[in-house]
């Protein structure tokens, strides 16, 4: 449809310019290069200039729309990466919790919380941005931030057990391992939503470009 509208616009502009040029030619042949002929020549040039300006504006608008969409897609991929990284940290921490030499290695609470905070800081940036391709990115990034905050509470519970010289309860390790599954659900939700959003954007661009 967009190609058809472009062809129609080009043809109409060409016809108008051709008509003005034809009238100007006839007048010049009959009357010579006088006021009427000059007016029609000027009219043809004005129509051509206006058509060219509209065409350039249309092309620039399309380019900027594509750039905005590309930037939005890039941010969406960044949110996905942050969620994937948070998922990896959750699964790594859960694996370390069941290490038989955990107590001997010392309390890794500080390292766990730093890794969790690093992931949370990244997701928080995207949760608070307002230039996303779609608000769903804010929602998903915010959910990821909340999950990491809850995981920190479970890390504190595990750390309290280790400070007493006890191994963390298996239930705590299981709870932290589940965060990997929760992040996987967010990643799948993001993928599904973005496929629908990009499909709708491409359809809109096809219809109205």
Please tell me the distance from the alpha carbon of residue 138 to that of residue 48, in angstroms, as a whole number. 46
Per-residue pLDDT, 88: 94
Specify the pTM: 0.65
Band of pLDDT at residue 157, cut at 50, 70 and 90: confident
Ranking 50-54, 121-125, 134-138, 171-175 by mean pLDDT, the lowest is: 50-54
The answer, yes or no, to whether residue 119 has pLDDT greater than 80, is yes
Measured CA to CA, the distance from residue 153 to residue 167 in angstroms comes to 17
Is 48 a residue whose pLDDT tops 80? no
Give residue 134's pLDDT: 73
- Helix 35-97 and helix 136-163, axial crossing angle in degrees, nearest 10: 20
Query: What pLDDT, on the 0 to 100 scale, is given for residue 199?
Result: 65
Asked if residue 126 has pLDDT above 50, the reply is yes
CA distance 57 to 140: 36
What are the angstrom distances between the C-alpha of 26 and each of 14, 22, 23, 29, 39? 18, 6, 5, 5, 13
Q: Where are the domains of the chain?
A: 2-208
pLDDT digits (tens, 9 = 90+) for 83-98: 999 999 999 988 888 7
CA dist., res. 51 & res. 54, Å (int) = 5
Q: Is-contact 185 144, C-beta < 8 A? A: no
Which residues make Cβ contacts (< 8 Å) with residue 9, sequence separation at least 6?
51, 54, 55
Cβ(37)–Cβ(31) under 8 Å? Answer: yes
At residue 208 the predicted structure's pLDDT band, cuts being 50, 70 and 90, is very low
Q: Which residue has the higher pLDDT, 175 or 33?
A: 175
Q: Where are the alpha helices (DSSP H) in 98-169?
A: 102-105, 109-128, 136-163
Mean pLDDT of the region 51-61:
65
Distance CA 147, CA 116 (A): 10
Q: How far is CA 8 from CA 4, 11, 13, in A?
A: 6, 5, 8
Which pLDDT score is estimated for 23?
66
In a 10 Å sphere around its CB, with 0-12 CB exposed, 13-18 middle and 19+ buried, how is residue 125 labelled?
middle
CA 140 to each of CA 44, 91, 187, 188: distance values in angstroms, whole numbers, following the listed order? 56, 19, 9, 11
Asked whether the beta carbons of 180 and 91 are under 8 A apart, the reply is yes
């Amino acid at each position: 449809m967009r190609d058809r509208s472009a062809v129609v616009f080009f043809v109409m502009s060409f016809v108008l310019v051709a008509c003005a040029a034809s009238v100007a030619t006839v007048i010049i042949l009959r009357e010579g290069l006088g006021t009427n002929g000059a007016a029609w020549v000027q009219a043809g040039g004005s129509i051509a200039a206006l058509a060219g300006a509209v065409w350039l504006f249309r092309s620039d608008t399309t380019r900027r729309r594509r750039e905005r969409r590309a930037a939005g897609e890039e941010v969406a991929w960044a949110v996905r990466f942050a969620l994937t990284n948070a998922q990896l940290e959750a699964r790594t921490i859960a694996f370390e919790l069941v290490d038989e030499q955990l107590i001997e290695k010392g309390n890794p609470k500080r390292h766990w919380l730093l890794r969790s905070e690093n992931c949370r800081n990244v997701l928080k940036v995207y949760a608070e941005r307002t230039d996303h391709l779609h608000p769903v990115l804010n929602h998903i990034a915010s959910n990821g931030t909340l999950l990491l905050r809850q995981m920190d509470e479970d890390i504190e519970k595990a750390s309290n057990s280790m400070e007493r010289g006890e191994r963390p309860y298996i239930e705590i390790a299981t709870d932290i391992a589940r965060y990997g599954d929760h992040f996987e659900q967010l990643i799948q939700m993001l993928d599904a939503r973005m496929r629908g959003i990009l499909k709708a954007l491409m359809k809109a661009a096809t219809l109205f470009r």
